[in-house]
Amino acid sequence: MPRVVFLGPPGAGKGTQAKSLAKDLGIPHLSTGDLLREAVREKTSLGEEADVYIRAGRLVPDALVLRILKERLARPDAQPGALFDGYPRNLAQARELTGFAPVDRVISFVIPEPILLERLTQRWNCPKCGTLYNLATRPPKQTGVCDLDGTTLVQRSDDRIDAVRMRLLVYAEQTAPLLEHYRMLGILTPIDATGTPEQVGHRIRTALEHAP
């Protein structure tokens, strides 16, 4: 079973596809954000270290993220393989990952910026239950109100247009060398990430089936 990395800009649909594919393959879906939250929630020693940075509004250092990732990969369910969602984010992280968990295939989500802007700036969520809505593709039944509990929906500050443009710029700057790194290794497969989740999922599975 492979170790697969999903790379793509915010809003490309990596999380949705990763959860579905990981379930089909019987391997864990590893998102660094989820791993950090789990470690903090379970109050592990590494989680308590990470919580200091999170509470201070600072980024958790790469070295600490790596230790949390190594600990997760040591569990029995990750021995057959794993699906990395949005990690590594830069060339240094990619090289570190290769040192202890070599990657078999990298799927790069390719999607035009105008579509990303529409997806991200139309996102609103329920602060109570966490349900995510998209005014363009999955609007609530009643404008501005959560379908499940009637709570007024809010938009995250990083889903506003200026913040979204900055997030995409940072992603492009950090990821261009990473894509070239995996391309040179011969394990990078770009896929068209436009269309329905079912269409994108089919492209991903086809790419993995035909990977060398």
Terminal alpha carbon distance of the chain: 14
pLDDT more than 90, % of the chain: 43
Is the pLDDT reported for residue 24 higher than 80? yes
Owning domain of residue 165 = 3-28+75-205
DSSP string for 140-189: -SBTTB-TTT-PBPB--GGGSHHHHHHHHHHHHHHHHHHHHHHHHHT-EE
Model confidence band, residue 136 (pLDDT cutoffs 50, 70, 90): confident
Report pLDDT digits (tens) over 70-111: 989 999 999 999 999 988 988 988 999 988 899 999 999 999
Please give the mean pLDDT across all residues of the chain. 89
Mean pLDDT of all residues in 38-45 = 86
- Round the CA-based radius of gyration of the chain to a whole number and report it: 18
Catalytic residues, which ones?
Answer: 14, 89, 123, 156, 167
Q: In the structure encoding, which two tokens stand for residue 47, read together?
A: 């989680």
Q: What pLDDT score does 184 carry? A: 94
The domain tally of the chain equals 1
Cα distance between residue 157 and residue 154, in whole Å: 9
Mean pLDDT of 129-143: 87
Nearest to 103 by CA among 178, 35, 168: 178
Q: Is residue 183, in this structure, part of any structural domain at all?
A: yes
Q: Give Cα separations from 20 to 5, 50, 91, 101, 138 (angstroms).
A: 14, 28, 27, 22, 19
Residue 99 counted as domain residue: yes
Q: Is residue 52 part of a domain?
A: no
The residue ranking higher by pLDDT, 1 or 16, is 16
| Percentage with pLDDT > 70 across the chain | 99
Q: Is the pLDDT of residue 196 over 90?
A: no
- Say how many residues make up the chain: 212
Amino acid identity at 152: T
35 in a structural domain: no
Model pTM?
Answer: 0.82
Reported as type and span, the H/E element at residue 17 is helix 14-25
* Whole-number Cα distances in Å, 26 to 33, 78, 171, 183: 21, 9, 29, 27
Distances (CA, A) of 116 to 11, 31, 136, 142, 193: 6, 20, 12, 24, 10
Confidence tier at 1 by pLDDT (50, 70, 90): low
CATH of the domain at 185: 3.40.50.300
In a domain, 157, yes or no: yes
Residue 114 counted as domain residue: yes
Q: What are the tens digits of pLDDT across the range 153-193?
A: 998 887 888 888 888 888 888 888 899 999 999 999 999 99
Question: For residues 123, 55, 172 and 30, what is the CA-based torsion angle, rounded to 10 degrees?
Answer: -80
- pLDDT score, position 4: 95
The answer to whether position 182 is within a domain reads yes
